[in-house]
């Protein structure tokens, strides 16, 4: 009888701990907006409450058919993966099955589960719970143990409630991030307008005032004619005034470049075709590189963030060509197709070996490509890279039409 009471007390304590965890995760969902922090704290809380050996959250890529570990918490601590991450297709593993079917999968003996993907963790039991939001699986809450029959099926309903809360937290954090990015973009636009309309114009006015000052001094000294603009002051004064005006011109040019980089005015006013055409002209002048730009199809405006990311990637790609490829010519082709918009950037430079997994480029200094691909994913597009030593490089960016509206 005493043993039964102890078992019942233990069961009640465990149930109370479950409910406290649900409440605590709910509190974190509403109070923490940073994705990495909320996932790290949540998986640590679940691990400690249920005494699991390993708890993880894998996220599905928002634009491709693969997934990756984002946070893993074990006895050795919690790790939040940043930058380069190992990706798996959603057809692979129990996690992939859960993503495809949006249902929980329990394997208390992983050798009996045909979808189990062996790993270095000596896993004997695995439980995967979908993170479902708006009828879509956006990730998986994963539990692993080195012991057979480690998971109690009675825990599944609570874990599914926790998974729903985590899914809400992820989407909330993503919405907050997008709102923050939109606010930053608007602030960049405001700064660009102020630099161009106020600061640059004020400096140009100062420069004109210096011209008038030169004329006025020259007129007083009888050294020139303000009407013809041929005033030349005594040498020391002329040289000092010239240095000031030269410095002003450099400052004006730098501010104009900064304004353009913050938000290219042509991109904002006229769209991608005109902005890329101007970029190509700038690169040709700056690097003495033969750059040709063409477009096909009927041009139309993309979303502002898509246009800006296309422009930034083209800017970085052309800069990389000029600095590293030893190319003599580059071709840009912007293709407006019925179902997608494609930008091809091709050079005749030295080329390089492209690994199957582009993340490996980060180890050899190729973070630029990783950043470009991440930019494309953020706007619903994809990036393809083709190159080989001695045969140049071909970069293709594409955005499906349905992601443009």
DSSP track, 253-311: HHHHHHHHHHS-HHHHHT-HHHHHHHHHHHHHHHH--EEEEEEES------HHHHHHHH
22 token code pair: 């649900």
395 token code pair: 């970069």
- First-last CA distance in the chain: 68
Give me the pLDDT at residue 97, please.
96
Give me the pLDDT at residue 141, please.
95
- The more confident residue out of 255 and 392 is 392
- The more confident residue out of 364 and 329 is 329
**Whether 396 contacts 384, CB under 8 Å:** yes
Secondary structure element (H or E) that encloses residue 238, with its range: helix 235-262
Rg of the chain in Å (alpha carbons): 30
pLDDT at 99 over 90: yes
pTM for the whole thing? 0.56
**Whether 37 contacts 20, CB under 8 Å:** no
Give me the pLDDT at residue 236, please.
77
Provide the CATH number for the domain formed by 15-174 in this structure. Answer: 3.30.450.40
Residue 366: DSSP 8-state: -
384 token code pair: 């393809």
Phi, psi of 54 (to 5 degrees): -145, 130
Q: For residues 293 and 112, give the distance between their C-alpha atoms in angstroms, rounded to a whole number.
A: 58
Q: Where in the chain is the domain with CATH 3.30.565.10?
A: 266-405
Please state whether beta strands 105-107 and 290-296 pair in parallel, antiparallel, or not at all (unpaired). unpaired
Q: What confidence category does residue 2 fall into, taking pLDDT thresholds of 50, 70 and 90?
A: very low
| Burial of 275: CB neighbours in 10 Å, binned 0-12, 13-18, 19+ | buried
Q: What confidence category does residue 309 fall into, taking pLDDT thresholds of 50, 70 and 90?
A: confident
**Whether 394 contacts 346, CB under 8 Å:** yes
Helix (H, G, I), strand (E, B) or coil at 322: helix
Q: For residues 320 and 307, give the distance between their C-alpha atoms in angstroms, rounded to a whole number.
A: 20
pLDDT digits (tens, 9 = 90+) for 123-161: 999 999 999 998 899 999 999 999 999 998 988 988 898
Give me the pLDDT at residue 265, please.
66
Q: What confidence category does residue 275 fall into, taking pLDDT thresholds of 50, 70 and 90?
A: confident
- The more confident residue out of 71 and 83 is 71
Residue 338: DSSP 8-state: S
Give me the pLDDT at residue 96, please.
93
Please state whether beta strands 66-74 and 77-80 pair in parallel, antiparallel, or not at all (unpaired). antiparallel
pLDDT digits (tens, 9 = 90+) for 73-89: 888 888 877 544 567 88
Provide the CATH number for the domain formed by 266-405 in this structure. Answer: 3.30.565.10
Q: For residue 108, how many other CB atoms are within 10 A of its CB? A: 18
Sign of torsion, CA 361 373 35 89? negative
SS (H, E, C) 193-206: HHHHHHHHHHHHHH
Average pLDDT of the chain to the nearest whole number: 79
Q: Where in the chain is the domain with CATH 3.30.450.40?
A: 15-174
Nearest to 347 by CA among 282, 384, 309, 292: 292
Give me the pLDDT at residue 331, please.
92
Give the percent of the chain with pLDDT over 90: 19
pLDDT digits (tens, 9 = 90+) for 217-248: 776 676 665 555 566 667 777 777 778 877 88
Give me the pLDDT at residue 108, please.
95
pLDDT digits (tens, 9 = 90+) for 29-64: 666 778 888 888 888 888 888 888 999 999 988 766
């Amino acid at each position: 009888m005493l043993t039964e009471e102890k078992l019942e007390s233990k069961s009640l304590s465990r149930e109370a701990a479950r409910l406290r965890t649900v409440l605590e995760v709910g509190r974190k969902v509403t109070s923490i907006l940073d994705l990495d922090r909320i996932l790290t704290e949540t998986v640590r809380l679940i691990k400690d409450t249920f005494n699991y050996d390993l708890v993880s959250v894998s996220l599905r890529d928002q634009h491709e058919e693969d997934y990756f570990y984002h946070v893993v918490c074990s006895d050795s601590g919690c790790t939040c993966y940043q930058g380069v991450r190992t990706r798996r297709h959603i057809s692979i593993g129990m996690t992939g099955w859960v993503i495809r079917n949006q249902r929980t999968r329990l394997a208390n003996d992983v050798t009996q589960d045909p979808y189990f993907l062996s790993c270095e963790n000596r896993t004997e039991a695995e439980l995967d719970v979908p993170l479902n939001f708006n009828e879509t699986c956006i990730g998986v809450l994963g539990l692993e143990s080195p012991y057979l029959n480690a998971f109690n099926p009675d825990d599944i309903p609570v874990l599914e409630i926790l998974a729903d809360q985590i899914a809400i937290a992820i989407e909330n954090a993503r919405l907050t991030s997008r709102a923050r990015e939109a606010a930053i973009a608007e602030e960049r636009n405001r700064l660009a307008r102020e630099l161009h309309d106020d600061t640059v114009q004020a400096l140009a006015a100062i420069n004109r005032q210096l011209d008038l000052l030169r004329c006025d001094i020259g007129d007083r000294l009888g050294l020139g004619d303000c009407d013809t603009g041929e005033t030349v002051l005594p040498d020391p004064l002329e040289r000092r005034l010239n240095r000031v005006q030269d410095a002003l011109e450099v400052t004006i040019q730098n501010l104009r470049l900064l304004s353009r980089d913050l938000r290219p005015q042509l991109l904002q006013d006229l769209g991608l075709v005109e902005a890329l055409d101007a970029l190509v002209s700038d690169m040709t002048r700056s690097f003495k590189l033969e750059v040709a730009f063409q477009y096909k199809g009927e041009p139309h405006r993309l979303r502002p963030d898509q246009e800006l990311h296309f422009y930034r990637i083209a800017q970085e790609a052309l800069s990389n060509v000029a600095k590293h490829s030893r190319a003599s010519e580059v071709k840009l082709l912007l293709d407006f197709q019925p179902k997608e918009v494609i930008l091809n950037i091709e050079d005749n430079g030295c080329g390089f070996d492209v690994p199957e997994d582009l993340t490996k480029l980060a180890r050899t200094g190729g973070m630029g490509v990783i950043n470009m691909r991440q930019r494309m994913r953020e706007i619903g597009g994809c990036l393809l890279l083709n190159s080989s030593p001695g045969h140049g490089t071909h970069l293709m960016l594409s955005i499906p039409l349905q992601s443009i509206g």
